[in-house]
Amino acid sequence: MKKIVTVLGARPQFVKAAVLSRVIKEHNEIEEIIVHTGQHFDANMSTVFFGEMEIPTPAYNLEINSLGHGAMTGQMLERIEAILIKEKPDAVVVYGDTNSTIAGSLAAKKLHIKIVHIEAGLRSFNMKMPEEVNRIITDRISDLLCCPTDAAIQNLSKEGFDHLPIQIEKNGDIMKDAVAYYSETSSERSSIISDLNLEVGNFVLATIHRQENTDDIEKLKSIFKALEEIHSDCEVVLPIHPRTKKIVKKYHIETTIKCIDPVGYFSMLELLKNCKMVISDSGGLQKEAFFNKKHCVIVREETEWIELVENGFAEIVGASTSKIVASFNQFKNKNSDFSRELYGNRVGESIHKSIIALLNK
């Protein structure tokens, strides 16, 4: 039986891995060893996901977190390399664009182990983002690129990947499978709507965590000012990221919006299913909003998921108070056709098939 090592570290990766791990288990053609780098270590952002989503328990938990990019990536690289030497996998699977992604990829490449990059080909075209650097390097050294969209395929083509010995597949967005599967039971697994006494369809779900917003105090203040103004019209609920919470406290940013601790995936699904719209700087949440038929105000200067903007499901507004409020007002009474097929179907099965093909080469 072929063996793969899956490297995970951040919350969105747990969600995506849950889908593929379930497919791998059903087919029983691959042995999967999970390595958790520990990048997200808060119980509500890590441990709870493995329990809620029935992800196999990681064989290794490196507990590497709360470090600068260099130190974190370096320690992950060293520790993952040792695991790969011990386990001798046929391939390493990485997701997305985190430090865990690049560390797992580099460790594998230097040991001549095949690399599968899931969610490949995405670009923000902003090289100041650590995530952009991570995804570009990971794509270039991978053996199989599992792309979610036509735009991702086009990005790779423009960068010359058509001329490289790399297997490129348009499999679709694996997050879609997760939302479809877990939405069926989320209301049974979470009572967050009643617990927070929220009015269905009459609250805004917000998340703010990207460093471009949290590390620029003027931007962060501008965003919170917009959320405060919107809150006077429609209640704003913000599951607050630990980094954001720390900075808000440090700079004494006063707010009356409903700030809550980070929540598990089922609670987040319930918030998405029942909110009016989403305001976020999260890439994953932009798509999850779409999957749950909600518009999204993107609090960034760019997005990797450009098809959402092109089709009118989301708008890029940056950190401008006036633009955030204007976008909220534009979307609050807008009706859109969310039945548009943008991200594929049975994505986990498609990716599994591509991995099998790679391993059998």
* 56 band by pLDDT with thresholds 50, 70 and 90: confident
pLDDT of residue 242: 86
Q: What are phi and psi of 182, to 5 degrees?
A: -85, -15
Instruction: Return the sign of the alpha-carbon dihedral for residues 151, 156, 162, 165.
Output: negative
- Residue 197's region, left for phi above 0, alpha for psi from -120 to 50, else beta, is left
Q: What percent of the chain has pLDDT over 90?
A: 84
Give the distance between the most distant pair of CA atoms in the chain: 59
Token digits for 216?
A: 């620029």
Token digits for 49?
A: 């996901």
pLDDT of residue 54: 75
pLDDT of residue 47: 60
Model confidence pLDDT, tens digit, residues 339-358: 999 999 999 999 999 999 99
Q: What are phi and psi of 10, to 5 degrees?
A: -120, 155
- Tell me which amino acid residue 206 is: A
Catalytic residue among 209, 231, 295, 352: 209
C-beta atoms surrounding 253 within 10 Å: 16
- Using the predicted structure, report yes or no on whether residue 45 has a pLDDT greater than 50: no
- Using the predicted structure, report yes or no on whether residue 241 has a pLDDT greater than 90: no
Instruction: Return the sign of the alpha-carbon dihedral for residues 93, 96, 100, 104.
Output: positive
pLDDT of residue 66: 75
CA atoms within a 13 Å half-sphere pointing along the CA-CB vector of 28: 1
CATH code 3.40.50.2000 region(s) in the chain: 2-173+344-359, 184-331
**Whether the Cβ atoms of residue 215 and residue 251 lie closer than 8 Å to each other:** no
Token digits for 257?
A: 């919006």
Model confidence pLDDT, tens digit, residues 100-137: 999 999 999 999 999 999 999 999 999 988 999 999 99
- How much is the average pLDDT of 207-228? 95
Give the helix ranges, DSSP H, for 5-98: 11-27, 47-52, 69-87
Q: Which residues is 315 bridged to in the sheet?
A: 297
Mean pLDDT over all residues of the chain?
94
Model confidence pLDDT, tens digit, residues 260-292: 999 988 999 999 999 999 999 998 899 999 999
pLDDT of residue 62: 93
* 233 band by pLDDT with thresholds 50, 70 and 90: very high
> What does the DSSP assignment read for 135-156?
HHHHHHH-SEEEESSHHHHHHH
pLDDT of residue 14: 84
The set of residues, in sequence order, having a beta carbon less than 8 Å from that of 83 and lying 6+ positions away, is 5, 35, 60
pLDDT of residue 145: 98
Homologous superfamily of 2-173+344-359 in CATH?
Answer: Glycogen Phosphorylase B; (3.40.50.2000)
Q: Which residues is 279 bridged to in the sheet?
A: 206, 297
State the CATH architecture for 184-331. Answer: 3-Layer(aba) Sandwich (3.40)
The predicted model scores a pTM of 0.89
Higher pLDDT, 217 or 264: 217
117 among known catalytic residues: no
The set of residues, in sequence order, having a beta carbon less than 8 Å from that of 333 and lying 6+ positions away, is none
**Whether the Cβ atoms of residue 220 and residue 240 lie closer than 8 Å to each other:** no
Model confidence pLDDT, tens digit, residues 163-206: 999 999 999 999 999 999 999 999 999 999 999 999 999 999 99
